[in-house]
Amino acid sequence: MTRPPTQRPTPRSDDDQTAPLSTEQPSDQHTDLDLLGTPELVQALLDDQLNAVRAAQAALPDIARAADLAVTRLQHAGRLVYVGAGTSGRLGVLDGVELLPTFSWPPERLVTLIAGGERAMFRAAEGAEDDEAQAVLDLQAHHVDAGDVVIVLAASGATPYAVAAARHATQLGALTIGVSNNPGSPLQAAVHVPITLDTGSEVISGSTRLKAGTSQKIVLNALSSAIMVRLHKVYGNLMVDLQATNRKLRLRALHLTVLASGADPDAARHALHDADGHVKTAIVMLRLGLNAEQARHALTAAGHSVRAVLDAHP
């Protein structure tokens, strides 16, 4: 793994007041926002969200590079580690937690860190984002190492907790990915793969929970989903590695098994029962006429890829 490139834009000092962050600049649009009628107010807020999509699209090459590098680590027992503060930290926790039921991502291979700890998910702990030492302690407490993928989020790109975590994780040899909304930020210089979402000023000036936050959520959706597809947790465009832990998800598992196998619902239901609810196993059983044990063995031998198993048995 190469270290972060040395040729980067000069990082902005945390104390540099001469060049305000673009996300903190007052917007020159809707300067009379508080005078708008409610429909016009909502329209202004919605219209500005489209810029979050454009910013994410502009970052596509970096998102793709981050996904490819992450897969290389995660193919070997590496963990996904999300780090952030405030809104960015909450978005990281949300993305990580949703991987468990959606893609059966093992909980022991997920670490979510937010400045201020778990309580900061529900109540703002703004002072915690300045604690650089705690960021290092949090990484040490979870034994982050060179096998892990660390995704650090900070709209400003200068949040001390986030930047300190990124620097320390990089020093440990972990793959570090930084998602920020200001070009030339300290976070960009601290990570292997910087993803910059240049969303600029907000309709409500300084409120980075708006399109800056939306752009981060878009990137996290795309990045983690792309990683999971590359790790064979999707067959075609079907989510075949979900955890069917409630009635809705059990029905979804049945539907996915029928779609992927071509079997009738009764046959799919019996296969899922024998496969302990595992959609991948049920698909292989039905498509190849195997029992559950044989299907599990075939999947293990093929790196848990349904497509690889089926391609090997035309």
**Catalytically annotated residues:** 98, 129
Chain centroid, CA 7 distance in Å: 27
**DSSP code per residue over 15-40:** T--SS--GGGSPPSS-TTGGGS-HHH
Contacts of 36 (CB under 8 A, 6+ apart): 30, 44
Q: What is the tally of helices (H) and strands (E) in the chain?
A: 12, 7
Q: Which residue has the tokens 């848990």?
A: 304
Beta bridge partners of 87: none
CA distance 197 to 176: 17
Answer for the pair 234, 304: CB distance below 8 angstroms, yes or no.
no
205 touches 29 (CB < 8 A): no
H-helix or E-strand containing 180?
strand 175-180
